[in-house]
Structure 1
Amino acid sequence: MLTMASEKPILYSYFRSSCSWRVRIALALKGIAYDVVPVNLLKDGGEQFSAEFKAVNPMQQVPVLKIDGITLSESLAIIHYLEDTRPNPRLLPQDPKKRAQVRMIADHIAAGIQPIQNLSILNKIGEKKMEWAQNCVVSGFQALEQILQHTAGRYCVGDEVSMADLCLVPQVANAERFKVDMGPYPTITRINKALLELEAFKVSHPSRQPDTPAELRA
């Protein structure tokens, strides 16, 4: 185990960022108190493009977590670090097959769906943004629904909350925001509903963040 630095972790986050939400869920599940520095991805052309934030993350994306004297970007890398240093409750199963399934589903969402429908891509698409986003999510969810029919218990892989679930819930929220019909995805819908009943998913929800606009607050 590492000797933990005494400073409180700092999370650079945007309330609606699905990648930031994944990390907020992990921090909540593991009981890690942290301070939030909001980075508004829309204000003044995007605060992530400021020189100040570029010094924090050269990729100019959220989330970023400052913890234990290091600065980490990329949500799954952050979650893996939290898992390595604060293993309880675990977010990766001990069984190698289940662990591989969790990583597969997490990557399917984090690499195969979310990046091609995120803000930086949609801004380049022009007026067909909604149609593009819907197509990205639908093709990804068609595959994910099939995968989950083989791996799911109560949650994405068996009955324990895992890194896969941390990716699923924010992606379903994106799908709903892009008005994707969730009817064809009963397994995704069922798992999402069960996860949203858990406290860690509630407190990390975009409607309950320090930078959530008043009209979107829970």
Structure 2
Amino acid sequence: MSSKPRLYSYFRSTCSWRVRIALALKGIEYDYHPVHLLKDGGEQASFKDKFKLLYFKDEYKSLNPNSLLPALEIDGHCLADSMSIIEYLDETRQDPPYLLPKDPAIRATVRRISNNITSGIQPIQNLRVLIYVGADKKKEWGKHWIEQGFNSLEELLEKTSGKYCVGDDITMADLCLIPQVYNANRFEVDMSRYPIITRINAQLENHDAFVAAHPRQQPDCPDELK
């Protein structure tokens, strides 16, 4: 554990954002290696308009075969997939906060909410899908699917939330929610329809770890977005 971890990230990647929050909460210092998703067709992947397919570049694919962000080099391992990385960090750095609670039932609830967001909402409006949908339809598409997901998520949070998504402790579910709210605002979702989601987001937006992980704090964030 002597070498400093390295995170391969893009400032506005919601998957990378979750991991940045986890690293901040666990107090883990790391080197930030930006992987631009858009410049020159993307350092992560290049896009071929004619066939509407993504062709992944060898440099990043050697780290992560599916070529998706983030990847984290830590403890002599190269880890990929944000949820797997977060669970690894929680299991290997066992000081609070516990991102996955010790109680099995509460832990299952945290995973349920997290998966609701990371499997049911975010993938439908991520960059690869929006490129395929096309520039003229991407805003309508993203807004529709975020609203569909938030409708059910708001109902679920009525039963599980306290100060945060699950009770009064920050968990992995909160790490997944905050970046998704950011995307909802980008797609001009009417957040007044989701008072619980809005309240939790407000509780966390000034938390030190969440501030440090925000896209505008990242070295690859353009000045005009800071």
Instruction: Give the one of 173, 178, 181 matched to 2:190.
Output: 181
Q: What is the Cα deviation at residue 168 of structure 1?
A: 0.3
Q: What is the Cα deviation at residue 51 of structure 1?
A: 1.5
Instruction: Give the one of 96, 100, 106 matched to 1:92.
Output: 100
Q: Provide Cα deviations, 1:48-69, integer angstroms capped at 9, x if missing partner.
A: 0221111111111111000001
Residue identity in the other structure for 2:168: D
Could you tell me how far apart the structure 1 residues matched to 2:200 and 2:219 are?
A: 27
Gaps of 5+ in 2: 46-56
- Indicate the residue corresponding to 2:87 in structure 1: 80
- For these two proteins, the number of residue pairs brought into alignment is 213
Q: What is the Cα deviation at residue 111 of structure 1?
A: 0.5
**3-state SS in 1 of match to 2:62:** helix
Q: What is the Cα deviation at residue 158 of structure 1?
A: 0.2
1:201 matches 2:210: yes
Could you tell me how far apart the structure 2 residues matched to 1:142 and 1:34 are?
A: 36
Q: Provide Cα deviations, 1:96-146, integer angstroms capped at 9, x if missing partner.
A: 211111000000000000001000000011121111101110000000000
Q: What is the Cα deviation at residue 197 of structure 1?
A: 1.9
Residue identity in the other structure for 2:198: T
Could you tell me how far apart the structure 1 residues matched to 2:183 and 2:95 are?
A: 28
Q: What is the Cα deviation at residue 88 of structure 1?
A: 1.8
**3-state SS in 1 of match to 2:8:** strand
Could you tell me how far apart the structure 1 residues matched to 2:88 and 2:102 are?
A: 16
- Indicate the residue corresponding to 1:14 in structure 2: 10
Could you tell me how far apart the structure 1 residues matched to 2:14 and 2:193 are?
A: 22
Identify which range, 90-99 or 180-189, moves more after superposition. Answer: 90-99
- Indicate the residue corresponding to 2:117 in structure 1: 109
1:110-149 to structure 2, matched below 5 A, reads 110-126=118-134, 127-149=136-158
- Indicate the residue corresponding to 1:24 in structure 2: 20
Gaps of 5+ in 1: none
Instruction: Give the one of 52, 59, 74 matched to 2:59.
Output: 52
Could you tell me how far apart the structure 2 residues matched to 1:197 and 1:129 are?
A: 30
1:215 matches 2:224: yes
User: Moved runs in structure 1, 4+ residues, more than 2 A?
Assistant: none
- Indicate the residue corresponding to 2:71 in structure 1: 64
Could you tell me how far apart the structure 1 residues matched to 2:39 and 2:65 are?
A: 19
**3-state SS in 2 of match to 1:183:** helix
Could you tell me how far apart the structure 1 residues matched to 2:18 and 2:7 are?
A: 12
**3-state SS in 1 of match to 2:199:** helix
Q: Provide Cα deviations, 1:1-56, integer angstroms capped at 9, x if missing partner.
A: xxxx2110000000000100000000000000000100000011111022111111
Aligned CA-pair RMSD: 0.7
**3-state SS in 1 of match to 2:79:** strand
Could you tell me how far apart the structure 1 residues matched to 2:159 and 2:119 are?
A: 21
Could you tell me how far apart the structure 1 residues matched to 2:187 and 2:13 are?
A: 14
So what's the TM-score if we normalise by structure 2?
0.93
Identity %: 59
